[in-house]
Structure 1
Amino acid sequence: MTKNDYEPSHLDTLDRDLGRFSNLETATTYVSRPLVGLGVSLVFIVIAGLLALILFGKSSDTFIVVIAAGFGAYMALNIGANDVANNMGPAVGANALTMGGAIAIAAIFESAGALLAGGDVVSTIAKGIIAPESMQTANVFIWAMLAALLSAALWVNLATWIGAPVSTTHSVVGGVMGAGIAAAGFAAVNWPTMYKIAASWVISPVLGGVVAALFLWFIKARIVYQDDKIAAARKWVPVLVGIMGGAFAAYLALKGLKKIIKIDIQLALLIGLGMGIAIWLVMIPVIKKQSIGLENRNKSLKVLFGIPLVVSAALLSFAHGANDVANAVGPLAAIVQASKSGNFTDAISIPLWIMVIGAIGISFGLFLFGPKLIRMVGNQITKLNPMRAYCVALSAAITVIVASWLGLPVSSTHIAVGGVFGVGFFREWHTSRQMKKRRIAMPDVPQQPKEERRRRKLVRRSHFMTIIAAWVITVPAAALLSALIFLVIKTMMGGAA
């Protein structure tokens, strides 16, 4: 053992700080027990309904709004349980964050993103999925939004139960489409938009996987396989952190600040470039100081990527809260507006109390049910370390920027999980390539049996197939469920418009 083995690194210090959340982690383990978690969730849903009752006031539609608030709270809980795992899973899987630390950071930054930078206007019916004019009356519109909200929440709940991270935005889109078809027929659907969304099922994970794999290749080629790893890290880690900072600055400017100021893609890229250069210059002395005394081995490199990985996970959570919470509570806001004024064709403003339900619901869902999906994304698809997890986080920010520039509707869930798959499959390819070189160099060494090679695959195929299947059927499943719920609601209400 050397002196350096006993010296605490910056990452160790960070782990000790995050270790203060150990009580939170213990509490999470306790409340994750099915009955306790279910009970707390029901209490939150009831409170959301009471909040709607108090703030909406008395009218003929008060009961509908209270029910809708309960459905919105249920949806927010499911977003916390499912969607947030994509941001925190890689950092937890890489041991850069404890489960308690991840939950605390995600809850704070998701809520901050929703409340500080959440979009205050959404299109009338989930970004133009169906034509508002196709709804004959405000009542039909309200029933359709109720059905969309409940079906999306039920589908995400089912996906969480089977351990599949799915897109909550796609679930809402499927719910709106299904209710719209049940209410006004297939002609009401904006099919070109739906075709783009279907294309994003392929584009999102492939882009995320390719970008993550390319960065992992770069790190291996320029840092890991260099004779002096620490010198190479001093040169390239500040560059990589600058790229990450610039990508997140552009992402947040484009997606997270729309409530404050309208920023187009060109200005967002300029902001990102400026921030990236500034962060690169700042990180040069920081990494140089942090690397003093580190040994020339891969384990030392993990230390240098630990803190940037934690920061990237926090920024991903903020951006997710800013961008996706409005989509989740959009149908609830639409119901409130239609119930108040009877107007369901104009843009919908989301009241603060609805955003609060969304933000708190996400935090509760993460706290109560999030660890299952966090572990699955972080540990069970493929083995992650800080460098691999960093590539996933960097890929998520860059891919969203590229997709926005190309005008493609992509899913942050698909991108993040696609990044994990990309890292895993790249490792499989790289390992296979190394083994072939070894066989050529040492032909007398016996080759492993085919079954043994298959067993040693670095990406678990069972999780891969489950997740892909869940992605493919999310929109049609949510649509079918929504159509059935709409018909049930219509029947219960006597079909009166």
Structure 2
Amino acid sequence: MHDTYILLVSVIVLATIFDFINGFHDTANAIATSVSTRVLSPKVAVAMAAVLNMVGALTGTAVAKTVGAGLVETIAVTQLTVVSALLAAIIWDLLTWYFGLPTSSSHAILSSMLGAGVATAGTGIIIQKGVYKVFIGLVVSPVIGFFLGFLLMLLLMWMFGRSAPSVVNTLFKKLQIASAAYMAFSHGNNDAQKTMGIITLALVSYYKLPVFNVPLWVMLLCATAMAFGTALGGWRVIKTLGMKLVHLQPIHGFAAEASAATIIEIASRIGLPLSTTHIISSTIMGVGATKRLSAVRWGVAGRIVLAWVFTLPACAILAWVICKAAHLVI
């Protein structure tokens, strides 16, 4: 009992670290376009994102329930399972941050949970319906993001095509502050809930709870950890997303952020965990494609997509290895 309690505490600590790194790694999701268009200074953008990430994280638990109770059978999960999944996701996030790749923390933690779960109790632990739901959301949402960004940008071009560039820039510099705030709020709502789900899963496993409910203290802990991580910022990823992928003006930044935030917010309300990194990257590409296809630096985009695809098997395998090794030692 003492050992399992130590593992439970380890889960909470590692989950908090993961949430902090998630905020640090994914700051670019909310503010890269605002910084690159010079609508907001980096310091102001990061401060705004940190506050609204925290507010967003406290507005729901639907995604947390999907992550914690919808992927693997809670009855078969051990504290070692969750610890292994968190370690794998943390290692992957730090590696991709170091190389400036905007990979998905969502992909990392979800695939790590599956890998560690299989290592613990075999493939029978997987809830196929839940995995299918999450997989479809992760795969389809970037496609929706690309086309929504593309269509919204076309609509804005039609609406303001005859307006003076100075007027358009002045207007959208103000509107982009609102869209950046919206993006930060939605990011906190979806991403922090994933960590809430992981911690609650560990609590359900330890205390053998009959119902999966996220405690208020878990919500506050995850919201605070993500806010602090966001406050430090992930400047390497910001550079890739906001400056290398496509050259943006305020109107483009508004279209990308508004499109991405709307998709994420809808998904959060129905309990669908998405990759906020994928969504904002795809809307930026969709918006950039309205200029001309060559406006998007497809070499950078291809490198990002490869990192997305590689994350799923890499984290699942890493978590499986860590969990198997841990079972041999403990």
Q: Which residue of 2 is the match for residue 193 of structure 1? A: 130
Q: Deviations over 1:107-137 (max 9, x none)?
A: 11112222x424289438634112234x1xx
Q: Which residue of 1 is the match for residue 243 of structure 2? A: 379
Question: Which of 1 and 2 has higher RCO (CA within 8 Å, sep 6+)?
Answer: 2
Query: Aligned partners of 2:166, 2:63: CA distance in 1, in Å?
Result: 47
1:129 maps to 2:71: yes
Where 2:295 maps in the other structure, the secondary structure is coil
Decide which of 64, 70, 82 is 2:7's aligned counterpart: 64
Please show how residues 80-479 of structure 1 align to structure 2 within 5 Å: 80-114=23-57, 116-119=58-61, 122-123=64-65, 126-133=68-75, 135=76, 141-224=78-161, 226=162, 229=163, 297-339=164-206, 341=207, 343=208, 346-352=211-217, 354-400=218-264, 410-429=274-293, 457-479=294-316
Q: Deviations over 1:29-76 (max 9, x none)?
A: xxxxxxxxxxxxxxxxxxxxxxxxxxxxx9554422332233112201
Cα distance, 1:382–1:393 mapped onto 2, change above 3 Å: same
| 1:154 CA displacement | 1.7
Q: Which letter maps to 1:417? A: S
TM-score (norm 2): 0.90
| 1:328 CA displacement | 1.7
Cα distance, 1:348–1:484 mapped onto 2, change above 3 Å: farther
Where 2:248 maps in the other structure, the secondary structure is coil
Q: Which letter maps to 2:309? A: V
Unaligned runs of 5+ in 1: 1-57, 230-296, 430-456
Task: Please say which of residues 484-493 and 378-387 is displaced more in the overlay.
Answer: 484-493
| 1:382 CA displacement | 0.4
Task: Please say which of residues 65-74 and 120-129 is displaced more in the overlay.
Answer: 120-129
| 1:100 CA displacement | 0.4
Query: Aligned partners of 2:53, 2:265: CA distance in 1, in Å?
Result: 20
Where 2:78 maps in the other structure, the secondary structure is helix
| 1:161 CA displacement | 1.8
Query: Aligned partners of 1:192, 1:465: CA distance in 2, in Å?
Result: 30
Q: Which residue of 1 is the match for residue 318 of structure 2? A: 481
Where 2:292 maps in the other structure, the secondary structure is helix
Query: Aligned partners of 1:117, 1:313: CA distance in 2, in Å?
Result: 18
Cα distance, 1:337–1:393 mapped onto 2, change above 3 Å: same
Where 1:130 maps in the other structure, the secondary structure is coil
| 1:96 CA displacement | 0.9
Task: Please say which of residues 213-222 and 174-183 is displaced more in the overlay.
Answer: 213-222
| 1:167 CA displacement | 2.5
Q: Which residue of 2 is the match for residue 38 of structure 1? A: none
Where 1:310 maps in the other structure, the secondary structure is helix
Query: Aligned partners of 2:62, 2:148: CA distance in 1, in Å?
Result: 31
Q: Which residue of 2 is the match for residue 452 of structure 1? A: none
Query: Aligned partners of 1:130, 1:366: CA distance in 2, in Å?
Result: 29
| 1:99 CA displacement | 0.4
The answer as to whether partners of 2:34 and 2:180 remain within 8 angstroms in 1 is: yes
| Equivalenced residues, count | 330
| 1:211 CA displacement | 0.9
Q: Which residue of 2 is the match for residue 272 of structure 1? A: none
Cα distance, 1:407–1:153 mapped onto 2, change above 3 Å: closer
Q: Deviations over 1:385-442 (max 9, x none)?
A: 110011111211343467689997643322211000111222224xxxxxxxxxxxxx
Cα distance, 1:465–1:124 mapped onto 2, change above 3 Å: closer
Rg: which structure is higher? 1
| 1:193 CA displacement | 3.2
Query: Aligned partners of 1:108, 1:406: CA distance in 2, in Å?
Result: 24
Q: Which residue of 1 is the match for residue 22 of structure 2? A: 79
Q: Deviations over 1:173-197 (max 9, x none)?
A: 1011101111111232223433343
Query: Aligned partners of 1:125, 1:393: CA distance in 2, in Å?
Result: 25
TM-score (norm 1): 0.61
Cα distance, 1:65–1:196 mapped onto 2, change above 3 Å: closer
Q: Deviations over 1:246-284 (max 9, x none)?
A: xxxxxxxxxxxxxxxxxxxxxxxxxxxxxxxxxxxxxxx
| 1:145 CA displacement | 1.0
Where 2:68 maps in the other structure, the secondary structure is coil
Cα distance, 1:217–1:197 mapped onto 2, change above 3 Å: same
Q: Which letter maps to 2:25? A: N
The answer as to whether partners of 1:91 and 1:313 remain within 8 angstroms in 2 is: yes
The answer as to whether partners of 1:81 and 1:362 remain within 8 angstroms in 2 is: yes
Cα distance, 1:337–1:409 mapped onto 2, change above 3 Å: closer
| Percent of pairs with identical residues | 28
Query: Aligned partners of 2:216, 2:205: CA distance in 1, in Å?
Result: 13
Cα distance, 1:215–1:200 mapped onto 2, change above 3 Å: same
Q: Which letter maps to 1:324? A: D
Cα distance, 1:344–1:175 mapped onto 2, change above 3 Å: farther
